[in-house]
Structure 1
């Protein structure tokens, strides 16, 4: 089994575990805390993304440089790798502290002027936002440690840690709000403790994974000077990406009631689960893309790129198609609430399609970053922001939450049309049509048709009936996608050939 395959499997297991566990406990959180309190969890996600801008492009810079150095002789790479991690870890710890203090100090202002609570007391919201600041400070350094483990292809270890911490986050919070204190403050305090544990464990794991050296290693300002250009480009991408991915949520939070934010957060949780299916493949493939780009092996890079893109399409398109077409049934089967399904199904349909388009762009964007080329994504994002933010503002005020969700769909669909065309004029020239036809259309068309046909089926009257319908339609759609994709057909043929091939005589 190749390193990439092993890492992809580890990433899948980790993501599936955390996603399944998260989706399982959300209905219980809502039952114990209420939809309005759960809306604060969605607020924290947006706040976390905004404060992530203080990363200043450093995390992807460290990830790329560690992956590049890992292709060199370990004895020569040991000192620069350890200096890189040590230097950026110090910076990350300081930035995490600053971000946490900013949120803590600004919690009264955020609670009264941005968040529109109807039933929750103002003091509860202020305390909850303040604890969010503590969580940010606790978990900030873990991002560089996790990224380092991923870049060194230590993704099995990284996912073991994430699964452990994810279990503590989900079940620990559930235990606390069920048996200790059924408050949103208790929920966030549990998350803060889990974040501290994550930072400690990932830091220790990365230290052990780096090549050993007898030379003294410490903070070096020159390391920051050497990498500021790439970091600046990644910062530009990060700023624009945060605006594009969080604009709808920020607008919903500032324009609608906290209860409506709660429904939007529920739909977002399902949509994010789809991202968690594509992200493991992207994370496993990114270091290999960097290595192939560094070695200049374009033929092997081309083959690896297309096979990876097809794999993502086979996995996420059937899921997105079924959830979009049967969104009301999915929400009812999951939460058991007709009210939630009524309020959130249209938002979910649009968010899941946009997230699917976003997932399909994972490898094309990774290919650009692997080559150190950030200008295209920055330019496209600037143009998108100029259109999408005003559109989402108008949509939210005119049509409510579905109007904001439409912006997410539009921006990601536009990426599929524009970025791939422009990218393949410079990288892997002329490969765009193979991407559209073989990597996306062949795996996806049949699955979409199956889901659309199923949307005309009578609505089930029970949760079990809704679950059975969704599961059956997905099984058919996924089978069609697997049978249609060149990469999966090739794998099936190879396995059948090995099984049917006669054994050599003794």
Structure 2
């Protein structure tokens, strides 16, 4: 069985490759499709994430239950039946969501999206194809959760790299060589995701422990995990509203070309989530579940702080670079003459700050889910929504996209100041001070001071390459200071240096 660290790094490697593909080919898509048509790609992402809460009663259950059952003898049949049962539910749910998006396409295209100069028929056709893409992509989440529960993310890494390359590079070749068409792009994505889902399913079933009987749908097993599944479903639904309400409202009140800038600001900040929060969180959930099940509180506290510090070290240099040197980085990415550079530069610091706070909240959230305690997250999301939605409805038409990103930051700061203390009081009594002070707040202050000073030294007419060099060097300095400052990263760095010295 792979260690937690190796699981994290296997997942990070695949996500790094995904990030490389996304950042390499997004400017190609924007240039070939033009900003208005590319805004529909942002609409697809919003639709997908807005509906993914329905997967929260399936994939987290599979990861958690496989992690728990895998440490016991004689559970092979139970594990296989669980996978088959959740597989049926996932395929049915994905198909239903795809059909709903297809049927709603004329209304969304005609009455919600501000299409600007795009013909309504073209927008409606693209939206219908989005339903097909969502249905083909949907099972990926379940199968990836299965690899997580078995602690074999390494077995999914090569498939993810292959199909991510096909997804991004193949689409770019088609757009350039055949036609710069959003429908062609979405058709390619649907075919790619369908094949990826089939390959993931085949490999996961081969990894499952062998049993004498064939796997079957087990309604009794589903009922036994129903309470946890219902809790994660409600959390996912409320979290989806919190994270996507701004995008849904912004897409209604601004044209698609401006929505493209709003969507791309979150894309630029996404490496903080994709490379840090998601791989660490997915590996920690079954790990925390085993520690809680074994009653090892001291081990749980140690692992909790260890990974909280790791998240800070990995996330803060990226967030600081985006917040301080967003404009030269955007010009390097999209090109100096892109009309999206200036609106992106305004939005990016706020998006990066909100994404950073959301990322450092990953360890408290994962601990809640691993413990099966869903009520706090539900209550927090309900309270946040009652404040967030009216603010967006009033503020977005008046202040535009900035109100959306301000709201994103405010929601995450509220969780940091209110939800985290409540979680620690129940699950890790006496550990809040260390998490707040040493693991998160101190690294944030140090990062803000170093990047703030570097930003003050930057020339007003700084070139793209000068900005890139300053952002990179400052991020490297922040990384080195945080590694030296925090106990666990410092110990890991020392061990690595000793191994390198011994190897000589």
* TM-score tier (shorter): over 0.9
Deviates more, 1:340-349 or 1:15-24: 340-349
2:108 — aligned with what?
110
2:133 — aligned with what?
135
Cα deviation for residue 112 of structure 1 reads: 0.7
Q: Distance in 1 between matches of 2:455 and 2:390?
A: 32
2:484 — aligned with what?
483
Q: Distance in 2 between matches of 1:304 and 1:56?
A: 25
2:14 and 2:157 in contact (8 A); partners too: yes
Return closer, same or farther for 1:390/1:166 CA change in 2, 3 Å cut-off: same
Matched, 1:202 2:203: no
1:356 — aligned with what?
356
TM-score (norm 1): 0.95
Listed one character per residue, the Cα deviations across residues 365-384 of structure 1 (whole Å, up to 9, x for unaligned) are 10011110000111111111
Q: Distance in 2 between matches of 1:268 and 1:87?
A: 35
Q: Distance in 1 between matches of 2:499 and 2:150?
A: 33
SS at match of 2:213: coil
Q: Distance in 1 between matches of 2:232 and 2:181?
A: 38
TM-score (norm 2): 0.96
1:291 — aligned with what?
290
1:329 and 1:470 in contact (8 A); partners too: no
5+ long unaligned stretches in structure 2: none
SS at match of 1:425: helix
1:65 — aligned with what?
65
1:373 — aligned with what?
373
Return closer, same or farther for 1:103/1:474 CA change in 2, 3 Å cut-off: same
Q: Distance in 2 between matches of 1:53 and 1:362?
A: 17
Listed one character per residue, the Cα deviations across residues 24-78 of structure 1 (whole Å, up to 9, x for unaligned) are 11111110001111111111111112222333622211221111111112xx110
Listed one character per residue, the Cα deviations across residues 163-191 of structure 1 (whole Å, up to 9, x for unaligned) are 11111111011011010111111111111
1:395 and 1:402 in contact (8 A); partners too: no
Deviates more, 1:185-194 or 1:449-458: 449-458
Deviates more, 1:473-482 or 1:197-206: 473-482
1:242 — aligned with what?
240
1:112 and 1:122 in contact (8 A); partners too: yes
1:169 to 167, 170, 175: 167
Q: Map 1:68-467; keep pairs closer than 5 Å.
A: 68-73=68-73, 76-278=74-276, 279-337=278-336, 339-456=339-456, 457-467=458-468
SS at match of 1:384: helix
5+ long unaligned stretches in structure 1: none
Listed one character per residue, the Cα deviations across residues 313-356 of structure 1 (whole Å, up to 9, x for unaligned) are 00001211221122222211221235322111121111111111
Q: Distance in 2 between matches of 1:51 and 1:493?
A: 45
Cα deviation for residue 277 of structure 1 reads: 2.0
2:325 and 2:467 in contact (8 A); partners too: no
Cα deviation for residue 499 of structure 1 reads: 6.5
1:318 and 1:444 in contact (8 A); partners too: no
Cα deviation for residue 494 of structure 1 reads: 3.3
Q: Distance in 1 between matches of 2:496 and 2:61?
A: 40
Cα deviation for residue 299 of structure 1 reads: 0.8
| Matched positions, count | 501
